[in-house]
Amino acid sequence: MNPAMPNSLVTVLELAAILILLTATIGALLSVFITKRSGLIHLGLQLSLLLFMLYISQSWVYPLVFSPIFASLQQFSRTTATLCIMSSAFGINMMLKIYVWEGRLFQHEGASVPQLLVALVQGMIYLVAVLVILQFVYGQSITALATLSGAAAVVLGFSAQSTLGEMFAGIAISISKPFKVGDWIKVGDRDEGQVIDQTWRHVQIRTRDRCVLNIPNRAIADAPIKNFSSALGRGIKIIETIQLDPEMDRAVVTMSIHDAIVKTHGVLEDPAPTVYFRGMKMGQAEYMFCYFVDDYAPQPARSERLWRAIAEALPDRRDEPLHLAGSG
């Protein structure tokens, strides 16, 4: 029997695995022409597995099939190992491209992932693959090259620290999705406004006075965000307070404020508005009232109508001015 032919159970299983993986690789290659980039992930995976099987079966695969192509078994071994590592790097890169860069992170309100970030990650993947090949396939010391690469990465990181910081903060915002374009938000102690644009560097907010705030992503990631358009439950809760003459009948005041809220256009009936007496504050009786709305954009006009309705509904005390305070 030819010693190069599989003549044991292990080699027969190896041959079967090679044939199966070869068929799967050809199928993945054909699928690339049909589904285009979505099939590249499977092609990289199948090709790396096929090359791995050829590498571990080199003792009989080389003399049987590849001896006319490669001058020596060592050359065949190094070639298959190199191609296996590179195809694995290719598969990882395509997986990130399809499922991350053009997948979840691509759904960042239409903004594409910065090419700088994609290029950096892609270069890191292939750099690691090359270093592994040099160290473990060709037995070359990579200490100097790794040191040089690390120094270059440090220099690049410091030079692009601001840009990279904004991009990674943009990734965090994209994954957590605390708001979307069109939402009314308040970032930290800044003026509230409507989100009109969201990129990988900053978020643009149009305030009530029609000014546009460009807030860097890192500032947004580090600040509390109040979203008026994505309230949990049935509507957005508005809380306001009013200070009145302590001699005014509390039951009458409570009923008057409640009736004024109910009659104001845009206030939800469910949940129902509530009015509370909070006690005395600086010699005045303070009342707090809460109501719910489903659209925060017209809140200033709605609030003005409500205060007018409250002033008309309260008992006539023209000699006592109203002390009003409100908060959303």
CATH for 223: 2.30.30.60
pLDDT band at 201 (very low <50, low <70, confident <90, very high): confident
Average pLDDT over residues 296-302: 87
- Is the pLDDT confidence value at 121 over 90? no
260 shares its domain with 201: no
- Alpha-carbon distances, residue 58 vs 11, 64, 161 (angstroms): 11, 9, 47
Number of domains in the chain: 3
The answer to whether position 167 is within a domain reads no
Residue 177, pLDDT score: 81
Distances (CA, A) of 311 to 248, 253, 283, 298, 302: 14, 11, 20, 20, 14
User: Across-strand partners of 276?
Assistant: 288
Residue 321 has pLDDT above 50, yes or no: no
Q: 40 and 87: one domain?
A: yes
Residues 189 and 153 in one domain: no
Which comes out higher in pLDDT, residue 42 or 227? 227
Whether residue 300 is found in the same domain as residue 205: no
For the stretch 41-48, contacts whose Cβ atoms lie closer than 8 Å and that sit 24 or more positions apart, written own/partner, are 41/91, 41/94, 41/95, 41/98, 43/91, 44/87, 44/88, 44/90, 44/91, 44/92, 44/94, 45/91, 46/21, 47/83, 47/87, 47/91, 48/84, 48/87, 48/88, 48/91
How much of the chain exceeds pLDDT 90, in percent?
A: 26
Q: Is residue 82 part of a domain?
A: yes
How wide is the angle at C-alpha 231 spanned by C-alphas 226 and 112, nearest 5°?
70
Residue ending a domain, among 105, 125, 159, is 159
Q: Is residue 149 part of a domain?
A: yes
Question: 220, 183 in Cβ contact below 8 A?
Answer: no
CA-CA distance, 305 to 257, in Å (whole number)?
A: 13
- Give dist(CA 133, CA 81) in Å, integer: 8
Lowest-confidence region among 89-98, 155-164, 184-193, 216-225: 155-164
> Residue 301 falls within a domain, yes or no?
yes
- Residues 199 and 240 placed together within one structural domain of the fold: no
Res 1 pLDDT > 60: no
pLDDT at residue 322 is higher than 50: no
| 146 and 33 part of one domain | yes
Residue 288 has a pLDDT of: 94
Residues 24, 136 within the same domain: yes
Query: What whole-number distance in Å separates Cα of residue 243 and Cα of residue 287?
Result: 6
37 and 103 fall within a common domain: yes
Cis amide prior to 315 (ω within 30 degrees): no
User: Does 145 share its domain with 61?
Assistant: yes
- Rounded to whole angstroms, the Cα distance separating 325 from 54 reads 78
Domain shared by 153 and 285, yes or no: no
User: Is residue 170 situated within a structural domain?
Assistant: no
| 185, two tokens | 């938000």
Q: How far apart are CA 196 and CA 274, in angstroms?
A: 34
How many C-beta neighbours within 10 Å does residue 249 have?
10
CA distance 74 to 200: 48
pLDDT over 90 (residue 139): no
pLDDT of 109 > 50? The answer is no
Residue type at 213 in one-letter notation:
L
Whether 261 has a pLDDT exceeding 90, the answer reads: yes
pLDDT at 159: 55
With respect to residue 3, please indicate whether it lies within any of the assigned structural domains. Answer: no
pLDDT score at 232? 55
Q: Please say if the pLDDT value at position 78 is more than 90.
A: yes
pLDDT at 316: 65
To the nearest whole percent, how much of the chain has pLDDT over 70? 83
| In a shared domain, residues 116 and 155 | yes
Among 276, 274, 287, CA closest to 246: 287
Q: Which of 195, 227, 259 lies at the terminal end of a domain, its last residue?
A: 227
Domain membership of residue 4 (yes or no) is no
Whether 2 is covered by a domain: the verdict is no
pTM: 0.56
Helix (H, G, I), strand (E, B) or coil at 194: strand
Residue 76 above 90 pLDDT?
Answer: yes
Which CATH number characterizes residue 308's domain? 3.30.70.100
Lowest mean per-residue pLDDT among 8-17, 36-45, 147-156: 147-156
Helix (H, G, I), strand (E, B) or coil at 317: coil
Structure tokens at 308: 């007018």
Which has the closest alpha carbon to 149: 127, 179, 172, 125?
Answer: 127
CB-CB contact of 171 with 116 (8 Å):
no
- Helix, strand, or coil (residue 229): coil
**Identity of the highest mean pLDDT range in 72-81, 135-144, 161-170:** 72-81
Higher pLDDT, 160 or 216: 216
pLDDT at 312 over 80: yes
**50: containing domain:** 9-159
* pLDDT tens digits for range 186-196: 998 888 899 99
Whether residue 71 is predicted with pLDDT greater than 60 in this model: the reply is: yes
Mean pLDDT of the chain: 82
Task: Say yes or no: 118 and 17 in one domain.
Answer: yes
